[in-house]
Structure 1
Amino acid sequence: MAETRGLLIMLLIFSEKLLLTNSKDTNVTCIIFDDCILPCSFKPTGTVVIHWYKQQIPVHSYYYNKDQFGLQNKHFSGRTCLFNSHIPHGNASLLLKRVKVQDKGRYKCYTSTRKGNQEIFVNLEVKALIHSVIMEMTDEMVTCSSHNIYPVPQVTWATDPPSAQEALENSTIKTTDHKGLFTVTSMLKILGNFSNYTYFCSFISADKTQVWTASRKKQDITHEEGLALSIPCIAPHSLQNFSFTWTFTSSNEPTVIFRYDTKTRHTFNLWEGQAELDQDLLLMGDGSLLLQKPDIEEHSGMYTCTFSGLQSRYIVETNINITISSISVDEQSVQRSWWSTAASAAFFLFTIILALPQCIKLRAMEARTASHRYNGAAFVGGGLHKDLNATPSYINGQHEVECNRQLQIEAQGELADIKLTAEECSVDLQPGTKIEQEEKPLLNVLDDTNSDAWGKSHGCILSHLYGYVRPNFEVKFNT
């Protein structure tokens, strides 16, 4: 009987200990570099002893109503604490500050009171979030990378228009730093011409809670100056909250020329009056930039538009080459032709101004010489006299006619010296022969007594003009 009673007492004590010792695992995930709480609770019954361990490594201890750091491992030094004011209420949770990759593992929370002992296990997982994905593009390769990630993410590629997955051959490199964080870089060879596709790369976290996507497109546009130009930039997917920028790069550092944020609705436009956007279209994902009058010097360069949203970034790079418009070329040609014509006319007018006084003087000398020589008679032959004003149609008999008077202009340097000589030539005319006037070339001007002063003056001016331009050139006036 006594033995049975002793066995029952032992069973009761063992059962009580089983009830007081509550072993269970809790899973906790903490963000690297953030503070994290490892939960633990107990039934408060007066004085308590608390010990935290990581696989038998002392993390934090509390007894005699205060923290005890004598046995704490140096890896946790200065990074742990309890919520002391909550301990009397049964809260033994541990605050772990500035979580590291090395902190992950299985932790044990041991509590002891007068009512018994208790152990609670906490599995700590750590991760470093994907904060950004950097995408770069050349004519041959597109590269996608992200830094300070844990654990290693999955990387996928896609294009628009879509391409077969086997065509998207890529290589991914993973490296770790001294903190245990990963840098992941993935490279994909360009398919055909770089402007044919928009490229997408996605980084997917190990626990599938994050999908960070970046896209990039590169294109070239050649456009004539002065004509309005729309530079396209369209987001591949709809975005709710995003910021948007246009940057321009020429020979200097990139300059932000436009910025817009959907949360604040604040707009910044450095090129106001030269460039503009339709904000209604922008909210729908169309951020195309309109250049009013592009200029070769000011607007040729690289334009980059960027949509930055939640876990996404879309970039379009456009190289703009502004060229001289065909209209400008024609205008310049016309302008050069006009100036050439104007210069020629000015030179001609200048020469006439210089030659006119000399011509007037020459005509006066000719008039006096003619009056003295002929004195009203034109022909003398066989005793027959003809008046100069009478134009004969026929001449009977053989007559010798004074027919030639030569005007020679010899230009030596500045103006021509004019020499007048008279020669006679014999013309044998048969009876009944008709004499008709013939038109002469411009520089072989008729200079008979019936020629008016206008013809004589212009012939003289032309003689001076050509004699001035072409030295030693001989001009003849025949009568």
Structure 2
Amino acid sequence: MVVVFLIFCIFEVTQGVIVGELNSDVILPCFFIPGVDEVIHWTTSNKKIVHSFYTSKDQLEYQDNDYSRRTSLFVTEISKGNASLLIRDLKKSDENTYKCYVGTRIGKKEVDITLNVIGKKQAGVIVVGELNKNVILPCSFTPGDDEVIHWIIGEDKYVISYYHNKDQLENQDKDYVGRTALFNNEISKGNASLQIRNLRKSDENTYNCYVGTRTEKTEYITLQVIDLQQTMEYKWDHNSLHLTCSVNTSTSEGITITWYENNQEVQKNQSTKSSYIVRNESLTYQCTIYSPTVQSSWTGSWRMKEPIMKDDSITCDCNFCNGTFNSKWYFKKGTHEVEIASMDKSFPIISTEYKDRIDNLNKHNLTLRKLGPSDSGNYICVIKMEQNMDIEMTAVSISGENENHKLNAKSHRKRWILLVPFILVPLGAIFKILKDMKKARPNE
């Protein structure tokens, strides 16, 4: 069974709040899926042009005078999906809602960031990250020489250190080994931001970013980690198929669920749960769950697939799966639904009823063999990965007539096997009689 992914570009708007310190620098985060020919525009809610970038270079001809010589992008990071903006020497008048627009060949994205500028004693930044994903804790400073950077929790839990122009990891706490990185190429430009990979709930804390050059600076960043548990479910109700997409999370603010029929938007809700009825089984249905808090998008898709029967078998296929995945296979006949098998990176778990009929062709395929009339019904292949879930249904109908044809063919073969000896014996007798007659013939 070949699962087809329908890739579509979705216009998304996100929202975040950054708190900056008066007369200091601040980074407004903006991340996107890397593409080609990036076009980046930072603007304010009152239409001021803050910073633009296209044709592979900054375009400052129309930059508003209020931001002249105070903004920069991290140009070497743009190709990696980082369009974050650095604003230096913050003013109270910089308080605004900033829009980050990014367009590439594969799509576009808009991010709204609200900047609050407050006094020194009030300063602090809150960053929200998603469990098992990556996050960047922003930290900027006035560029100088011989940079010394320490990311610390409390007084003595070192997350990462940098000095003598390289990372210094001998004192790094074991909880962060192999999971942290600075943007070393950007440090000389005033970027001391920290990336933490594969977030854990235990990473929640207040992080101190200390930077020493000719001057010293410390920023405090509070990290919150949330767990987004998204899923797509199906349910038959009076012969109608209902699809439901939902997310279970402690932070539900701003979550949007959008439904598509063959890539055309048909419904949109600001909710943590939304349902849609399948009206045409020849169409493909998708839902996207978007969380602005962590700028995360998840996709669920459903389709009815034409059965492809080969040697009286059917396959649940996950060839497109990369990394962590979970696959489950069900058989539904009438109102009764049973699980055939489940599979992830380990060996498949097969139901007792199907134990002798399942082949595990490779780590991504399950094949049910020896299909007969009793196997007629709906086969449901459910594949879930981190950022998407795919449900394929296949209706299979096997008539008893085909089976009788096979049985008849076998019985004909047996009949021929039985008849051959009776044909051969008379022929042998005839040859013997002819031979005896020749011997008895008088010599000429």
The answer to whether the superposition gives a TM-score over 0.5 is no
TM-score under structure 1 length normalisation: 0.35
TM-score, with structure 2 as normaliser: 0.37
Higher relative contact order structure (alpha carbons within 8 Å, sequence separation ≥ 6): 2
If you compute each CA radius of gyration, which structure gives the higher value, 1 or 2?
1
Higher strand share: 2
Q: Which has the higher helix share?
A: 1
